[in-house]
Amino acid sequence: MRYYKSKSGFLIPFGTASKQGWGETAGDTQRKETRNFNPVSGSPTGDLDRYNPRIRSRARALYISGSLGTALVNTKTLNVVGTGLELNSRIDYEFLGMTRKEASQWQKKTEFEWSLWAKDARNFDAAGIDDFDTATIKAFKNACISGDIFAARQWAKSTRMQPYATRIRLIEADRCSTPDTDGLTRGTAQGVCKATGNKIFDGVEVDKNRRVTAFHFRSNYPNERGVETPETKWTRVAAEDKAGLRNVLHIVMADRPEQYRGVSAIAPIMTQILQLRRYTDAELMAAIVQSYIAIVYKQTSQDGISGVFGDGDMEAGLNLNELGGSMGEAIVAPYGLEATAFQPTHPATKYPEFYRTRAVEAGAAGGVSGGSILREFTNSYSASRAAMLADWKDFKVQRKWLSKCWCNPMYEFWLSEAVARGRIQARGFFDDPARRRAFLGSEWIGAPAGQIDPVKEVNAQILACQNGLNTWENATMELGNGYFGDNIAKLHDEIQRLREAGIQIGSFEIEETGGDDDGK
C-alpha cells in the first residue's frame, strides 16, 4: 500500500484522505463487509413497478401456504379493523351555530341513515356481496397482501326501500395496469396516455405536475385463462368527478414521494418466510419418514445377507414388509441379521427455538410482536402489557390511515347523496367548504386493544375520566363496552326494574329531572 506524509508527519494510506462523515462507515468501499455491497437505487417507479406483479404473486402464495405470512396479515387485520369500524359523528356544532342538543339529534339521525346504506350489502356493494364492515376487512387485508387495492364509485337505480344510488366496487391491484399501447416502455410498466399525453406508471396516470389524474383498469386479470375470458381492454377512470368527489379510492400506504403503487407488507420478510416454510417442510418430512422406521437390521455375516436377498441382489434394498415388519407385530430377525431399535432424530431439538426466533424477527419487521404473531402469551403481565402497547402504536397508525383513505371518503360519498336527496339537512354543505368540513366531522371506532388485567385497565380508565384525561364515552368504546349514551339509557331502565323488585345493587342513584338530557 502506498502512503503519503501529512503536515503533521504521519504516514497516511492513499485513498483515506477523501473519506469523511459517512464515508468511514456506511459509505465505505474498502471494508470487506461493504466492498461487494453496491445496490443500485433508482426512482420509486423504476425500483418497484416492473417487479410488483411478481411480488404480489409471491405474497399471495406465502399468505396461503406460509404460516408466518398468514399470521402477520391476519393479526394486523384483526387488530386494525376487527369486526369493522363504527361511525361516530362529531360535527363542529359551535361553528355551525347549533346547540349541543341540536347537534346530538343531527348526529343520531345521521348515524342511523348511514347504517341504512353501509350496513346493507345490497345498498353498499355493486356486486351485492359485502356491506361496509366486510368490505373494510377485505380492503385492508388486500392492501397488506397486494400492496394496494382500489374502490370505484358507481351508480345504481334507487328504489323506495333502497333510497341511495351510490355503490362501491372493489378492484384488485392486478387490474390496474398500463395499457398495452405504442407509448408503452417495455419492461418498466410505464407508458403514455394517447388521449391526454400524460405519463402512466403501472396504471396510474399523472399530469406534468405529477398529480394523479386517472387510473387505467384492464377488463381481466393478467394470467386469466378460459372461455369466459374477454379480450383485454383498458378503461380510463378519472380520479375525480366535476364536483370534486373522487371516483376512485386508492387504498395505499406509500413509503417514498412520487410512489404511485404500494408494496406488500410481506415483501420485506418474504425471503425469511419462504426459507422458514422450506425448513419446516423439511423437518416435517424427515419426522414422517423416520416415524415409519421401527427396526434396523445390522449385517452379522455375508452369508446372512445372501440368504435374505438372494445371490447378487444386495443393492436392491431391504423390504420390511417381506421380513414381516408391520405395526405392533413381534419380528424374528432372519439368520445372519441383528435387529436393533431405531432412534429417531427429528424434529430437531433446536427447531422450536430457531423457529420462534425467526418468527419474532419477522413479526418485528411487520410491526407485530412475537407473542402476537405466534399467539403465544407466556410472559409476565408487565412484559405482555409492554408488547401489546408497542403493537398498538402501529395498529393505531394504520387505523388512522385507513380512516383517512377509506372511511372518510366513503362517508363523504354517502353524505353528499343524502344531503342532495334531502334525507339529511345540512345547510351550506354544497356552498361553503368550511361548513362541509364541519358536517363531515367524524371518528371511526374499532375493536379495543383488549385487557390483560381487567381490574387494572378499568381502574386506569376511571382515573383518566375523573381527572379529565378522557371522556366516559371514549373510555366505554376503548374498553369494548358499547356506547356510553346507550349504556346510560339501559342502566336507567335496569335500575328502575331492580328498584321495583326491591333489589338494591351497586351505588347508582336515579334522580328524576322531569326533562330530556341536553347532551349526547
- Opening angle at CA 422, ends 421 and 424, nearest 5: 115
At 307 the pLDDT is: 42
Question: How does pLDDT run across 258-286, given as a tens digit for each residue?
Answer: 999 999 999 988 888 888 888 888 888 88
Are 267 and 59 a contacting pair, CB within 8 Å? yes
- Which residue type, as a one-letter code, is found at position 257? P
Element (H, E) at 190: strand 190-192
Distance between CA atoms of residues 189 and 171, nearest Å: 19
Question: How does pLDDT run across 421-455, given as a tens digit for each residue?
Answer: 999 999 999 999 999 999 999 999 887 777 777 88
**Which residue carries 421380513 as its cell?**
323
At 309 the pLDDT is: 43
Percent of the chain with pLDDT over 90: 39
Mean per-residue pLDDT, 321-350: 61
CA 342 to each of CA 23, 290, 294, 347: distance values in angstroms, whole numbers, following the listed order = 58, 9, 5, 15
- How far is residue 354 CA from its own chain's centroid? 26
Select from 375, 508, 408, 283 the least CA-distant residue to 79. 375
The x, y and z cell numbers of residue 99, run together, are 346547540
Mean per-residue pLDDT, 504-516: 55
Are 436 and 429 a contacting pair, CB within 8 Å? yes
Residue 91, class by beta-carbon neighbours within 10 Å (0-12 exposed, 13-18 middle, 19+ buried)? buried
The x, y and z cell numbers of residue 323, run together, are 421380513
What lies within 8 Å, CB to CB, of 168 at 6+ separation is: 124, 125, 126, 135, 151, 152, 153, 154, 410, 413
At 127 the pLDDT is: 93
Q: Which residue has the higher pLDDT, 246 or 383?
A: 246
Mean per-residue pLDDT, 83-92: 91
Mean per-residue pLDDT, 180-195: 72
- At residue 184 the predicted structure's pLDDT band, cuts being 50, 70 and 90, is low
Distance between CA atoms of residues 440 and 416, nearest Å: 10
Distance between CA atoms of residues 97 and 468, nearest Å: 26
Reported pTM: 0.79
Distance between CA atoms of residues 264 and 365, nearest Å: 13
Distance between CA atoms of residues 368 and 73, nearest Å: 10
At 283 the pLDDT is: 83
